[in-house]
Structure formats: structure tokens, C-alpha cells
Structure 1
Amino acid sequence: MAQQHGIIVLIDVENALKERSLDKNAYWFDNMKFLGSTGVGTRKLTTIVPGTSFVDGSQATEQVLNWLPAALGAVPPTVPRNYQAERSQTIDRAALSGIAHLDSSDDSEVGKIQEKVTMRARRPQTSRSLTTGKVLDATGQVAGANATETYNYPTPVITDITGPAVTEKIMYPAQYGSPDMIYDGWYWAATVDTSRPGTYAYTMHIQLHELIERNDELVWESVDLTCESALEVITDPKRNAFTGSGLGMLPIPAVF
């Protein structure tokens, strides 16, 4: 079975949208630092991909890379899928309760309730991953009409993977469907040809979403950007991270 490598692309969405660039706004992490991956947690990650071979030196199985994007400072994608809907309903119930006890002469209180109830974003017709509903801030509270830098940005979406690693047929990326609902049931993965050692760059195409006002309503508008990373195929065979040796049985301590 191919060894699985996880790569997280953490993006500072707010700054990336301001600068219209992922340069200095994307941070890469993988789970292969123990084998020599460099730049973990920085903008310059080189992921180590160990070669896999049989005893006679011939190639055994390929390696597999999995990419998961995340937004820095946003509500974690691991919260329940109905989180935003639940928050919206809770806010509406609180607003209705406030209206029931409201002094009609207090315009300031009316304004506060209206702000909470009407702060909604429309779902773009071209989007399959953004839900309608209230706009939340980074703490999961509703974002007021005057909030400017506290939006809970949607999870970045990987749209393509290109570059020398792909054109030279070192890795074969594709988007896959799965039961994993955290990323809307879609994720990007690639098999890697470990028979050709070397360092190969690749380009990640990522779509962010910016909250804008259009025709008196809020809309999430897509912004397409790119960032760079690399993988290094080494000749060392894959080995057990617990023992440091090759694949096989884990040592079982004697029990007396």
C-alpha cells in the first residue's frame, strides 16, 4: 500500500486579499519532517518523498500526497457542518426575544437587532462550497454591519496543481470525492513516481472568497491566486517513524 503524506496549506486570507498575492501569505506544513522535509511552517516547503523499492532494487509502490487548505484565524473546518446554521438560528431567536421586550422608542436597540438579523451573504451562482446565511466573525459571532476585518472567511479552495512536477510526470494530481464532509467531500491528492530522484517544483492554484457589496447585498466573490512549493524524491526507502527501520512488525515489549 502506498504511503500517505499530508500537506496543509495555511493561508492568511485577509492579507492575501488585500495584497492580491499569496506571496508571504501562505504557510506550508507536512508530516515528513522526520525524513528531512525543509521549510515546514514557512512559505518555502520542500516535501521529502522517500523512494520505495523491493529488496532487488526494483520499484515497489508509489507514494501519495494529500493537500488540505485552511484559512488562518477562521473558525476551524473541523467544527460540525451545521455550526453556521445553528449560530444563525440562535441569533434569530435572540433577536426575536429582544423584539418581544423592546421599547419602541429606543431606536438604538432596534438598530442593533436589525444589524444582527440582516447581516447575510448571498451564495454566488458559480459556487458549490459556500453556504448562504449570516456572516460570522473569527469567534463564531455574527459580524455587524460595521465590521471590516473580523469576517470568518470561507475555507480556501484548491482548483488546480501545475508546474514541472506535473509536466515532467513526477506526480499525477487529481481531485477526488470522499465521504469527508469537512472539505465538502472533495480533496486533492497525487501519486508520485519515486523511481526518479530529484527536486521538482509545483504550483498550487487556490481560490479565495472576498465579501463585497453589490446591488445592496453582500456577495462572496472569488479571487484566484497561486503559490509555490516543491517535493524532493529521495532514494532512501520508506521506513517506520517509530523504529527508524524499514517496514515490518513493530517491536512488542516483553510483559512480565
Structure 2
Amino acid sequence: MKKIYTLLFTAVLAFSATAQTTISQWNFDGATPAEAMLPTVGSGTFITIGGVEDNLTSGVMPAGNPSTGKGYSIKTFPEQSVASGTAGFQFSVSTVGYTGIGVTFDPRSSNTGSKWQQFEYSVDGSNWIVLSNNGGLLANDFLNPVSLTLPATANNNLNFKFRVVSIFAPTTSNYAAVGTTSTYGPTGAWRIDNFTVTGSTLGVNQNQIQGLKVYPNPVTNGTFYINTNADATKEVVVYDVLGKQVVKTTTTNAVNVSNLKGGVYIVKITEEGKTATRKLVIK
């Protein structure tokens, strides 16, 4: 738990610079699927969703972009005419301390895979919002890289998630195959490579709540208090060190955490459009 907390709070404190930077990246070049699923830069979680299976040849993934590396490949998509928007790739990355969130990646499909991909994101970790789709441009090569800019709600967000899912061709109830002379089939395989989440680190003036005090800390009686110069209404969200939201409330001062176990937490405070994050210890 100590290691997880260190990674999380390092992101919380990253407020001093303003340059665009890589928050997390996957190049998928690990020797095994389990290793390939780990980020090569930063931290985060990658999973496959919708019942798909890893597409391996002799225990390894196919070539990526460039071909000297690997790309993560999946197959066993839904049958024709069912379960649109359920199967594909999913990433979870904390963007705490960052603004101007962007996502880039290199997609590819076999000829019998679905050529329509939908891009969705979540800012609370459970509800999904459609961002856009790929216009049916998925091909049997890596010549159509994707570059997306996320809405402001993805900024400075502990629960940011992003997924790429297979969808029906627009105005139909059928998947359309990548190959112009091919027929869609569930065994058609997708690949993804170089998935990268970027952002600009928040400046202190962007993230400063004047006169902010959080006390007592450690909390010993089940309640902590927040004082600011503005003394305005605040949205307060408390996360455990795994990034799970455990308290969300609106208050001007007192926050009840009597239902939480002793340990280390992260408190995100938003007041009059400004946000600050603090470590909180509960005993």
C-alpha cells in the first residue's frame, strides 16, 4: 500500500511546471500479455473488456508500430448484430495535477474485424460518455493514428478512464468489416500500440485556494474541517490510496468521515472554480 500511495501523491504534488508531458504510456512490448499490460511510462491500468481474448501466435503478440516491437491484439468480439459498444480496450489513468488532457494511439485491425471504433471516457470511474468515433477509418495497417483532446472534466481527475470499443456501422445494427471484400467475423483481430495520455502540469496559481486549511490532521473524532479566505461552498471528494471515491459532499466547513477506516486518504477540494488536493490521515 505504501508504494501505491507514493505514486498517487507524487501526481498530486506535480503543480509547479506548465510544459506538456506524458502522464502515462503503454508500448505493449512486454514478453508476455501480463507484462505488456503494464505502463512503460507513469502509472495506470490497462484491461480488455467485453469478453475478448488475447490474440497470440506461439505465445506472443503480433508486430506493433514500429514492427520491431509488439502491439496488443485481441479477438473473439461479439457476434454480428449484438453488443455494440461493449468490447475493446480500457485504460485508467489519474490526471491529478494535469490539465489539457490528450490521448493518442495507433490502431490496426485484421480484414474481418469491425472498422468502426467508438471513443469513450469516464470522469467518475463508472459512467461512460461518448467522445467521438473513428469515422470507420480502421485499416489493416498503422497508417491512421488517433489523436484526441478530452473535455475539461478530464483535467485533474483521479478517476479518469478511457476506452476504445467496437460499434455497429452508423444507422445500422451490423458491424462492418475492415476489408472491402471481407465479411465481419468475431475472430477478426484488433491491435493497439503506443497508447499515451498527455497533459500540462497545473501551475500553483491555477490550483490555489487562498487561506486553505484542513484540520485536524490526523482526524481522530470522525470529522475534519476546511477553512478558506472565501469561506464559500466547497465540493469535497475523499479517495482512498487505490483511487476509489469513498466520500463526496458539499459543505462550507465540516466533513464527516466517521464511516472510514483508519489510514491515508486524498482529499480533493473545489471552491469557486479552484481546486486543491491534500493528504488526510484518519486514526
Asked if TM exceeds 0.5, the reply is no
TM bracket, shorter-chain basis: under 0.3
Q: In proportion to residue count, which structure has more helix?
A: 1
Larger Rg: 1
Compute the TM-score of the two structures, normalised by the length of structure 1: 0.28
